[in-house]
Structure 1
Amino acid sequence: MRRDALLIGLLAAVMIACSGRTNGREQAGRDGEPAVSDTLRGDVHVLPLPDVPPSLTAPEERAACIIAHFWDGMDFGDTLRCRDRAFMEQNFVNYLSLFPHAGPETLPPHIDRLLERAAADSTCLDLVNDLAEHYLDAPNSPMRDEEYYILFLEGLLRLPGLSEAERIRPAYRLEMARKNRPGTTATDFAYTDRHGNRRTLHATRGKRLLLLFYDPACSHCSQILDGLHTSEVIVGLIANKELSVLAVYTEGDRRLWNDTKASLPREWSVAIDESRIVERELYALPAMPVIYLLDGQKTVLLKDPSPMQLEAFLDGGNGLQ
């Protein structure tokens, strides 16, 4: 089956499944206008999929076309509808599900257009921004993608008419999101390992380095670190000297670190930060643990992937989509 047919079929299936009813075209009103959300009956309607010209044959072009016209059936002047969180959330999720199928370079103007239309109502714009943050930036979101979130923040800051006060939060979040992105050199810092040796990140040797920021007082950290320690993929790479691990505690409680440092695997380098990483905001650490994968030159390969994404990448698969 052709990839574009698979794409359209997948998107239609997603919308049907998410709406729990029928597809967007079948939910159109009697006069051909999209039906409004009906929360009294528990329905969450979805916008109709736009038509794709037959001349667009490449899957990426077809996906970009759907993204470009996704919100055409939405009247952002209808405050009852654009302030309906259930309706906006379901459609926003459907919208985001298209992004991986289109070239990233095609996305900014379409995101800009969505934000410009939502800006007609400040409450609606706040809702769209809240949904973008929730789905693209929240640590536990299955749709989390910092690169897409950066596009939304950049688009928001391009909006005309934003006051200086309104720019503070997105500007700060954008600054933090841009730190240590994949393809950039990871910020250097000093640390002391559990044997008392003082080193720097950039002087740490290894073909690839799994950099872990952790908190020994965090039970969730322990579960994730235990999973990484028992991963067959990671264990095998360490044994073959293809991967090294550096676990860094950043909160500064030396007594806690000294009491717990021996509990981490012997084959890992376990360290305490000496560069005030948190205070100086050298890295964005939204929720511990935070995972980075670096190459031998300390270029960031992965930024805060899930353990599943990390394993898939290390095993040669594609765990990022």
Structure 2
Amino acid sequence: MKSPIFNFCLSICIVALFCCSCKDNTKGKQKSELAQQSKKSLSSADSVLFHFWDKFAMQDTALVKSPEKGEQQLADFLQLLAQTPDSATRDKAVDLMLDKAQINRISFDYFIKQYEHYLYDGNSPMRNDIVYESVLRYLIKTDLLSNLEKEAYRPTYKLVLRNKEGQTAEDFTYELTYGKKQKLSDIKSRYTFLIFYDPDCSHCKETIQQLRDTPQLVQLFAQLKVQVVAIDPWGDRTKWKNYQWQLAEQWINGFDSESKILSFNIYDLKASPTIYLLDENKKVLLKDTYLQQVITYFVKTNP
């Protein structure tokens, strides 16, 4: 009998990857051979990253700025970086690429802008703080940039380091609809689906409606004991109160009455909505994610 989550996955056409396990009956020698093969595979993947730009002519400005050449090359590179779990490997790959780009300052500046566009723009489907962190680390240490130029990147670098996956989500206080105040850390649930929304944001409205009105989603969240926490951080009480009918009754509907989330950059709200998935201890499982990615995570971890 298939699990409810599996059936749910099929009903909304979300493709999920399942990890299979089997009994290990291999001998010590076979285990060693498998380990060596795995090591070789990882080394091969690293080698592809480290030599990805070897044959690319950074001095050719037209090539660099061509959407079919330079931009596509960067997009392919970013996909590989996003699949690389080791931060040291990502850092080295980015360092090698940007060191090579320094041969032409126009090329260097172009790629820096493209990195920001793909990895940090709130509207980019490829935005990825983990990969952008490697880029920012390079920018604040390279000798090519002046101290003033480096300082311009430090605030963003500090932001991407906050609330990373695996860290405890930073706590904050919010006001409830009946006036009481409580903290994020007060919530007791297996998972916390934290969504920062803007009442004027059409994409926020679409996400909220899908989360509220899709029966399979409602059932899934109830089954997994997921508490939805919807926070309006923008400080307009009237808009917040007028928006309450859009939210489900069982959700926590919070308002940052003192605007501390934005004022102190407690969370990086470059996109609306901004979604985090937290575990029962408020550790970040998914940062700045999408609803479908949350569902895929549930399918993979709760078969």
User: Matched residue of 1:196: which SS?
Assistant: coil
**2:103 is paired with a residue of what secondary structure?**
coil
Q: Is the counterpart of residue 243 in structure 1 residue 226 in structure 2?
A: yes
Superposition deviation, residue 198 in structure 1: 0.9
The answer on 1:270 being equivalent to 2:253 is yes
Greater mean deviation of Cα atoms: 124-133 or 80-89: 80-89
Count, aligned residues: 264
Partners of 1:287 and 1:101 in 2: CA distance: 23
Structure 1 residues 241 and 84: CA distance shift in structure 2, 3 A? closer
Q: 1:56 to 1:247 in 2, by over 3 A?
A: closer
1:79 CA displacement: 3.8
Q: How far off is 1:99 after superposition?
A: 2.5
How do 1:119-198 and structure 2 match up within 5 A?
Answer: 119-198=102-181
Would the aligned equivalents of 2:140 and 2:151 in 1 still touch at CA under 8 Å? no
Residue 176 of structure 1, CA deviation: 1.2
Instruction: Check if 1:201 corresponds to 2:210.
Output: no
Task: Name the amino acid aligned to 2:262.
Answer: V
Secondary structure at 1:158 match in 2: coil
| 3-state secondary structure, aligned to 1:303 | strand
Q: How do 1:46-65 residues align onto structure 2 when only pairs under 5 Å count?
A: 58-65=40-47
- Cα distance in 1, alignment partners of residues 55 and 215 from structure 2: 49
SS at match of 1:89: helix
Pairing 1:74–2:50 present: no
Query: In 1, are the aligned partners of 2:141 and 2:150 still within 8 Å (CA)?
Result: no
Residue identity in the other structure for 1:316: K
> What residue is the counterpart of 1:279 in the other structure?
263
Q: Distance in 2 between matches of 1:238 and 1:84?
A: 45
Say whether the 8 Å CA contact 2:191–2:224 is kept in structure 1: no
8 Å contact from structure 1 (residues 64, 103) kept in 2: no
What SS does the aligned partner of 2:77 have? helix
Which whole-Å CA distance do the structure 1 matches of 2:222 and 2:96 have between them? 51
Q: Deviations over 1:147-175 (max 9, x none)?
A: 11111111222211421221133222211
Where 1:109 maps in the other structure, the secondary structure is helix
Aligned-residue identity in percent: 30
2:280 equivalent to 1:296? yes
Q: 2:294 is aligned with what amino acid? A: L
1:247-268 Cα offsets, whole Å, 9 max, x none, are 0101111111112213311111
Quick one: distance in 2 between partners of 1:154 and 1:110?
12
Do the aligned partners of residues 67 and 204 (structure 1) sit closer, same or farther apart at CA in structure 2, a change above 3 Å counting? same
TM-score between both structures, scaled by the size of structure 1: 0.76
Q: 1:10-47 CA deviation, whole Å, 9 max, x = no partner?
A: xxxxxxxxxxxxxxxxxxxxxxxxxxxxxxxxxxxxxx
Q: Name stretches of at least 5 consecutive residues in structure 2 with no aligned partner.
A: 1-36
Secondary structure at 1:202's aligned position in 2? helix
Contact 2:116–2:132 at 8 Å: present in 1 too? yes
Give the 3 Å change call, closer, same or farther, for CA 150–221 of structure 1 in structure 2.
same
Instruction: Tell me the CA shift for residue 100 of structure 1.
Output: 4.3
For residues 216 and 118 of structure 1, what CA distance do their matches in structure 2 show? 43
Give a deviation string over 1:24-81, Cα, whole Å, max 9, x none. Answer: xxxxxxxxxxxxxxxxxxxxxxxxxxxxxxx998433222111111111123333443
Change (3 A) 1:79 1:216: closer
Match of 1:87 among 69, 72, 86: 69
What residue is the counterpart of 1:51 in the other structure?
Answer: none
Cα deviation, 1:65-104, whole Å, max 9, x if unaligned, reads: 1111111112333344335455210111122232245442
2:71 partner SS:
helix
**Secondary structure of 1:315's match?**
helix
1:113: how far off?
1.3
* Contact 2:276 2:287 survives alignment (8 Å): yes
Task: Identify unmatched segments of 5+ residues in structure 1.
Answer: 1-54
The SS at the match of 2:254 is strand
TM-score, scaled relative to structure 2: 0.80
Please give the secondary structure, in 2, of the residue aligned with 1:174: helix
Which residue identity does 1:309 align to in structure 2?
A: Q
RMSD over equivalenced CA pairs, Å: 2.3
Higher relative contact order (CA 8 A, sep 6+): 2
